[in-house]
């Protein structure tokens, strides 16, 4: 029952996080678009521009004041709770998913780090990230946006690399996202909202508003706008083990984040000119390149019967061949004088019974119709490995998550050995036959 309640708690918080995140990011995108598309030619006195729009069967007329109207309206909507609710629900989700079971989800297998220390590093990194960002923005570097952006990018990727040394791949990605999210909500709470309150108070007091404060708030809003696409990728990344499961996951994150910023920059500037239109095909090409370079070194499962060709040591490490009792070298074929080393030693066909034994011991504890692990009341992601047919059907996913990367079993809780991973990989490479 505890696992069932935890799952529903996870679902409820995740749903709230998604809803509030959509509201926050949608508002961010809309107001940047609005700012970029204002008609600034001959605005009436006191305005910096206006815009006419149609949506949902209605026509709207929006006006932006240079600072504020002579008299403040009675009802003024403040965009803040979307940001606060998104951050609070995100932290709550981290508590439920990563901090309730840090040994399983947070700490990288093989790393000797106390769970409490891992949690402290996670929380501390969010605070340190915002403090460092705020200091850099208020320093002379803040007056050079491009250089500031480059420095922030390098620091965030350095954090991703550092997290990868002690956290699981998914936890490393999520904590980079948590740093960015904390920076974004910190911008709202410590810069944007105070600037807006000062503006409103000046109007109410009949004094001249300080134009530097709204300008500073607008700059931080633009920063938040550029942060959104990388954060959105991080939010969905746990569904794609070829990204966070790679040993170079921090470089993959760097590549995708850079492409996301390029795409965002095009949409932020396309009202002015089309000189950044090249960023869209460049981003598409970049994603294709990332998909290619992150491909597994060993080919994925094939449903075809294996041919008579031998399996070479280029596919299976020599240590795995010589060290594992279930994968033995077959007798070497006779070499011809013309081709003394044309054929590599053959490997014996791996029996499914031995693979099935490993999967039932190491994987089906969680991935069964009725998991025996107390951590789950249902198989994660509906991934079931009870029968030979189910195992064969899921061979490609097993390869991606347990052979090409080591993200499964979670936290290696069942202590799957490298030899067992090699055994499964060899079986898949031979065609995943149920012999």
> Tens digit of pLDDT for each residue in 46-67?
999 999 999 998 999 999 998 7
pLDDT value of position 83: 96
Higher pLDDT, 3 or 111: 111
pLDDT over 80 (residue 347): no
| Residue 192 sits in the same domain as residue 334 | no
For residue 52, give every residue at least 6 positions away whose Cβ sits within 8 Å of its Cβ, in sequence order, or none.
Answer: 59, 60, 61, 62
| Residue 16 sits in the same domain as residue 152 | yes
Residue 409 preceded by cis peptide, ω within 30: yes
pLDDT value of position 297: 54
- Say whether 47 sits in a helix, a strand or coil: strand
371 and 397 in contact (C-beta within 8 Å)? no
What angle is formed at CA 163 by the lines to CA 183 and CA 81, rounded to 5 degrees? 25
| Residue 228 sits in the same domain as residue 328 | no
Which of residues 238, 253, 278 is at a domain's end?
Answer: 238
Query: How long a stretch of residues is the chain?
Result: 435
pLDDT over 80 (residue 336): no
Q: Residue 1's pLDDT band (boundaries 50, 70, 90)? A: low
Return the number of other C-beta atoms located less than 10 Å from residue 419's C-beta: 15
Determine, yes or no, domain membership for 173: yes
Q: Encode burial over 140-157: b for 16+ CB neighbours within 10 A, e otherwise.
A: eeeeeeeebeeebeeebb
With a pLDDT cut of 90, the percent of the chain lying above it is 46
Return the number of other C-beta atoms located less than 10 Å from residue 189's C-beta: 15
115 and 103 in contact (C-beta within 8 Å)? yes
**What tens digit of pLDDT does each residue of 124-151 get?**
999 999 999 999 999 999 889 899 999 9
Q: Residue 309's pLDDT band (boundaries 50, 70, 90)? A: very low
Return the number of other C-beta atoms located less than 10 Å from residue 34's C-beta: 14
pLDDT value of position 321: 37
- 193 by Cβ neighbours in 10 Å (0-12 / 13-18 / 19+) ranks as middle
259 and 297 in contact (C-beta within 8 Å)? no
| Residue 47 sits in the same domain as residue 187 | yes
Determine, yes or no, domain membership for 180: yes
Q: How many domains does the chain have?
A: 2
Determine, yes or no, domain membership for 131: yes
Which of residues 222, 238, 254 is at a domain's end?
Answer: 238
pLDDT value of position 345: 56
pLDDT over 70 (residue 325): no
CA 396 to CA 111: how far, in whole Å? 28
pLDDT value of position 404: 81
| Residue 233 sits in the same domain as residue 346 | no
Determine, yes or no, domain membership for 175: yes
Tokens representing residue 105 in the block: 């989800």
CA 87 to CA 123: how far, in whole Å? 13
404 and 296 in contact (C-beta within 8 Å)? yes
**Residue of 163, 296, 282 whose CA lies nearest to 234:** 163
Q: Residue 181's pLDDT band (boundaries 50, 70, 90)? A: very high
Determine, yes or no, domain membership for 161: yes
Tokens representing residue 91 in the block: 């932290």
CA 369 to CA 380: how far, in whole Å? 10
Paired strand residues for 59: 54
**What tens digit of pLDDT does each residue of 192-232 get?**
999 989 888 888 888 887 878 877 888 898 899 999 999 99
* Residue numbers of the domain that contains 379: 318-429
| Residue 353 sits in the same domain as residue 214 | no
Return the number of other C-beta atoms located less than 10 Å from residue 381's C-beta: 9
Which of residues 238, 270, 293 is at a domain's end?
Answer: 238
pLDDT value of position 332: 43
CA distances from 284 to 241, 249, 262 (A): 20, 19, 11
Mean pLDDT of 22-38: 91
pLDDT value of position 6: 84
What angle is formed at CA 21 by the lines to CA 16 and CA 27, rounded to 5 degrees? 135
- Say whether 222 sits in a helix, a strand or coil: helix
pLDDT over 60 (residue 319): no
Q: Supply the angle between the helices 169-186 and 115-138 in degrees, to the nearest 10.
A: 40
| Residue 365 sits in the same domain as residue 232 | no
| Residue 325 sits in the same domain as residue 229 | no
Range with lowest mean pLDDT among 14-18, 206-210, 264-268 = 206-210
- Say whether 400 sits in a helix, a strand or coil: helix
Mean pLDDT of 292-305: 53
Determine, yes or no, domain membership for 59: yes
| Residue 89 sits in the same domain as residue 234 | yes
**Residue of 112, 397, 404 whose CA lies nearest to 245:** 404
Determine, yes or no, domain membership for 391: yes
The average confidence (pLDDT) of the chain is: 84
Determine, yes or no, domain membership for 249: no
pLDDT value of position 346: 59
pLDDT over 90 (residue 107): yes
pLDDT value of position 142: 86
CA 230 to CA 48: how far, in whole Å? 32
With a pLDDT cut of 70, the percent of the chain lying above it is 88
CA distances from 224 to 31, 147, 219, 221 (A): 12, 17, 9, 5
The pTM of this model reads 0.77
């Amino acid at each position: 029952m505890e696992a069932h309640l935890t799952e529903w708690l996870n679902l409820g918080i995740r749903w709230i996080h998604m809803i509030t995140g959509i509201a926050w990011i949608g508002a961010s995108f809309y107001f940047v678009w609005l700012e970029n598309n204002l008609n600034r030619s001959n605005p009436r006195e006191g305005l910096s521009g206006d815009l006419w729009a149609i949506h949902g069967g209605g026509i709207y007329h929006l006006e932006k004041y240079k600072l504020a109207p002579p008299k403040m309206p009675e009802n003024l909507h403040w965009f803040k709770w979307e940001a606060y609710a998104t951050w609070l629900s995100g932290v709550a989700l981290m508590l439920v998913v990563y901090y309730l079971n840090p040994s399983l989800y947070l700490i990288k297998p093989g790393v000797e780090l106390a769970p409490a220390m891992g949690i402290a590093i996670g929380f501390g990194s969010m605070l340190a990230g915002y403090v460092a960002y705020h200091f850099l923005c208020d320093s002379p570097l803040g007056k050079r946006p491009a250089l500031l952006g480059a420095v922030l990018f390098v620091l965030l990727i350095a954090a991703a690399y550092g997290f990868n040394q002690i956290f699981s791949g998914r936890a490393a990605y999520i904590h980079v996202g948590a740093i960015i999210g904390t920076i974004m909500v910190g911008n709202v709470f410590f810069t944007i909202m105070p600037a807006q309150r000062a503006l409103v108070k000046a109007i109410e007091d009949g004094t001249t508003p300080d134009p530097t404060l709204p300008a500073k708030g607008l700059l931080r809003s633009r920063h938040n706008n550029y942060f959104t696409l990388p954060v959105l990728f991080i939010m969905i990344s746990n569904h794609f083990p070829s990204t966070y499961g790679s040993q170079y996951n921090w470089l993959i994150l760097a590549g995708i984040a850079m492409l996301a910023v390029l795409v965002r920059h095009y949409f932020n500037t396309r009202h002015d000119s089309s000189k950044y239109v090249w960023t869209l095909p460049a981003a598409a090409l970049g994603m294709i390149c990332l998909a290619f370079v992150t491909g597994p070194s060993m080919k994925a499962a094939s449903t075809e019967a294996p041919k008579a060709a031998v399996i070479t040591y280029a596919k299976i490490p020599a240590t795995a061949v010589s060290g594992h009792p279930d994968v033995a070298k077959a007798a070497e074929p006779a070499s011809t004088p013309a081709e003394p080393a044309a054929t590599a030693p053959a490997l014996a066909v791996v029996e499914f019974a031995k693979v099935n034994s490993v999967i039932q011991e190491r994987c089906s504890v969680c991935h069964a119709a009725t998991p025996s692990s107390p951590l789950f009341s249902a198989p994660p992601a509906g991934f079931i490995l009870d029968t030979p047919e189910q195992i064969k059907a899921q061979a490609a996913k097993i390869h991606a998550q347990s052979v090409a990367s080591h993200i499964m079993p979670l936290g290696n809780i069942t202590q799957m050995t490298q030899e067992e991973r090699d055994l499964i990989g060899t079986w898949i490479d031979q065609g995943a036959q149920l012999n």
